[in-house]
Structure 1
Amino acid sequence: LGPEVGGSIQVDVSPVNDAPVNVLPGEPQVAQEDQPFAIHGLQVSDVDAGSSTMEVTLSVLHGTLNLPVGSGVTVTGNGTGSLVLSGSQDAINALLSGGVTYQGEQDFNGQDALTMVTNDRGNTGSGGALSDTDVLSIEVQPVNDAPINQVPDAMAVKEDGSLSLSGISVKDVDAGSAPMSMVLRVEHGVLTLLGAAGAVSVQRAGSNEMTLVGSLDDLNSLLNGNLHYEPAKDFWGEDNLTITTSDRGNTGAGGALTDTTQVGITVTAEADAPQFGLGTHDIHVLQGAWVPLNLSASVVNPAPGELLVRIQNLGGAQVVDEHGQSVGHADNNGDWLLPMEDSVPLYVKDLAAGDHSLILTAESSAGGSTLSSAEETLTIHSQSGHNLLGSDQSDWLFGSTGSDRILGGQGDDVIRGGQGNDILSGGAGSDLFVWGQGDEGTATQPAIDTVIDFHPEEGDRIDLADLLKGVTDNSVDGLLNHLSASVTNGSGGLSDINLSVSPAGDGQVTQQITLKGVDLSGWNLSGSSSHDILQSMLDQHSLIIQHP
């Protein structure tokens, strides 16, 4: 062999660019509809990238992507379907390690995909820019979306009218053709359907609560112009239509969801036919007496100010309450209008002497219309002086402020002496002697009235209920502080009953009443005490201390 030769050869290895490699999670990602979802496990590997700038593009088809900014990586497209990241490999990987937030489109569910494209921009070695593209599957699972009721603004209808409930429908993005339920309820009326129900199941139509079951399209088709509301008879005021729709949880996770909505319904008052009556149509009085208006007027469920009584031919007189305060007012025609808001005793005051025919009607006014009752005539015979004589009919006889003498005649009479010291006689028939507030005197000068022919066996009675308004116990024991009684023996087997009235129950007697010539043989008295006398009068219904 020849001699060994020594030496060295220089070999230059030119760099060739190595492609980046995307690192993705090994399993498909599972997100929930309408919920943000963080995708972890995205990284970039590039053996020769060093600190050079590279670019990563992340994109989805049915949603948006978000990454935090300020991490040394330039991020563009945040909140859109495509993100572009520009920076070093280490910086990009650090940013991706915190997760990429994926948000599916509103109400989207199904398959989406994240596409990751990394470009090393050819910063190292020959061969130019190289890239890697990978796709990560995203399954967006459905989540049930709640139904949404569509309703009109507040509505109005007249009392006893009918209202078309138009403008009601329901939306549900994932209902499809699955059955839904809708419950409609009102508090003061009924709900009806005028059209055919079609494929919708209807329960309790014609009641205050109706249930509908059907698909979204079928429900909306039925609701379109077919639903009506009728307020309860004579009802006026505020009602509410409450609509509760359930999707029954047919689509997606989360179970059944509902939407409850209310629509205000104002039922405006309308005039109703009033009922009207008079307790008597003929009254005899002494001039200056307060003439009671024994009237009754009513309508069903009246609105404030709806009901009044019109009195014609009142002239210069007026209507007052038991305290003498004027009630009502005269209108432009000279008629007296009485509001029927409160139930208080009413009287005609200041009638001139002579015969007066008052024409009375009840009127219901609401909603721009008025309904009137039939006319009733009250004839008042007013005479001067202090003596008043009834007829052979059943008369109402009323004294004035002086000491009067009133004789009832042959009928079943109602007699009230009024103020002063009066002498009263019912005559034949079943007569009622009445005392009211204002008739009594004072503690130092009580009024002293005498009934000269009191016959309980013929049905005669005395009515002290208005004087004894402070008595709440209708037993004799509860009465004794307000009323005492004694017996004075007379001639011919007859007796006088003496009553002393203390309206306030304070021992101050302001009214004395003597019942003359009373036959006590049928009274079944066990003694002569106040308790015995009053108990006997109550037992035989000859004493009235309370009105129903």
Structure 2
Amino acid sequence: MYVSKINALLHRNVKGESNDTVSPHILPQEYARAKPSLAVPSRSDGSQTDDAMGTGDRGTTMSGVGSDPVALNGIGPVDLIEGIPVALFPGVTISAEGDLLNDGRGDFRGYIIQIRAWTKYDDFTIKGNQHLTVEAGSSENIFNLKYDGKVFAFIDTTPLVDVPGTKFPAMSIKFTSLQTIATSALADEVLQAVHYRNTSDTPPAQAVADIVLISRNGMGYGYDFQSLSNSITAVNDSPTVSVSPTQFAGKAQDLVFSASNGNAVTVSDPEAATLQVTLSAAHGSLTLATSAGLSFIDGDGASDTTMTFQGTTDAINAALDGLLYRGALDYRGEDVLTVSANDLGGSGTGGALTDQRSIAITLDPTNERVGTAGDDILTGTGNPERFLLQHGGDDLASGGGGGDVFVFGNRWGAADRVDGGAGQDTLQLTGQYEIAFGENQITDIERLLLIGGPTGIAFGYTLDMADGNVAAGDRLVVDGRNLVRTESLIFDGTSETDGSYQVFGGFGADVISGGRGDDVLSGEHGVDQLIGGDGEDILVGGLGADILDGGAGADVFRFNSAAESTTIRFDTITGFDVTEDRIDLPFEVTQLYTVNSGSLSVATFRSDLYFSGNHSAAIFTPDSGDLAGRTFLLIDGDGAAGYTPVQDYVIEFAQPTGPLEPVNFFI
């Protein structure tokens, strides 16, 4: 069931700041469309009330009684893209007798706009601005609609009930002119601010939404009913590979990956009927639990170092539940099990998408060092070892040689110290952390691994790194790729003076700041904010509408595919310096143009853009539309003329350091 945020109605508050925190609103189960019944509430005696918000008691059916010439002008279907809010009524205006009041400026007091949809995946919001705001009202589903802080209407998001047990997503707007008059212009602005999105991963080709404008005067009620059938462009969604953290295995012993062992390997995809999966291990062999329902391209599923196969997600997960890994007899140390999934194009636009995850496996874990709840001093040898220090205390651990793993769970504190020594060493944390690392608290550690919570429990990591934890010229990898959408990483590496970081975010909304070295910052999934420091940094936003700020130095903004910055989910590069910063793409840009005129709006984003093809690019500053005055880099990604979502790039430049001249700033 899809959970929307009620205060997603408010996209901007009075100060123009984001306001996204709200209580959940559960939308109803999908149902077959029924014939609409347009009604106003009634009292128990049958008379009409003054509140036509429609809260489930539908009252008597309306008729077009009265003299109001009520009309919704300019209404028509809109083009939608899966998951993206789009203005449902762009340019639509209201005609009614209310336009004649208030010295011709209009007063729509008593008028009602009712909007409803037909599946659990439909979602309505009002996109506000610095003047038009939505604030909490008298109950969970009631909101005050204000202009410059004064109430002129109420909004009710209570689902409507037409038949017992069936709820319809709905929004009802009642104009009251309580503190300021609901003028004609204001009523039109509200209507044009209504946004719709379909949140299904497999949306239908058409989505139906109904709107009714209800007016009333001394003679009765009038109404105009419209039903819109809007086309939806489906977008292919990436598959997901889920793996466990570092594993340990003895020589010539089977390491079993399964749900019962708590280390299952699974794949999923919201829409693809068939996936292609590749498994590989450098120093061991792999055997599936079953090969039923699978078609092999490489290997046969038994004692393979590499195998590739296709099947349904159910068949693949059945084969992976009980996957056996056995290390090579003559090998001792670290191995990596790599799992990749390809959706073979799935459905919708965007082409084939992949996800890849790796599991570190340490062979021969007999070299374990186990701490206590007290203050421990543990010393390793020249071999790979596992230090189990999740019991608490102020611990000092020295790994010596080999690739060591220091497991602290949720007990890492300000007094703990770790020296990895030689080899590729890992400090592993698992828990809710808000901590500042002291100077030189970790030494010779190559990777800081952050583990997400178990199902239903979200961990967040807020890490402030002091100088001295990365040696001069060395790089620390901070790996948050195990974190899911409800988990976030806030990483501050600005104090580091002579080392560098490579930071990977997860699926949530991350904020990652580098230091003075040459850092590599990757947002991965989610709406992330990446901030470079003084060095020559590489910033990779990944999927989601990210904000990228390279800071000082000659920075590189890398885009591995158009899916990382396209449609209105574009990335924003702040402070781009055309003289030294660069854009890194998977192909060579053939030409770069400058276009300083044209229209660009969110509601008509797709139709407003045109690409000349042949991998050309343009610096586009529209002079009309609601995105007028902003500057965008448009890049043809598929080589074809015209704009293709998810295939062509849209990148915003905000506050560049100088004029964006059409020079070659591509790698």
Bin the TM-score by the shorter chain: 0.3 to 0.5
TM-score in terms of structure 2 length = 0.35
Q: Which has the larger radius of gyration?
A: 1
Higher relative contact order (CA 8 A, sep 6+): 1
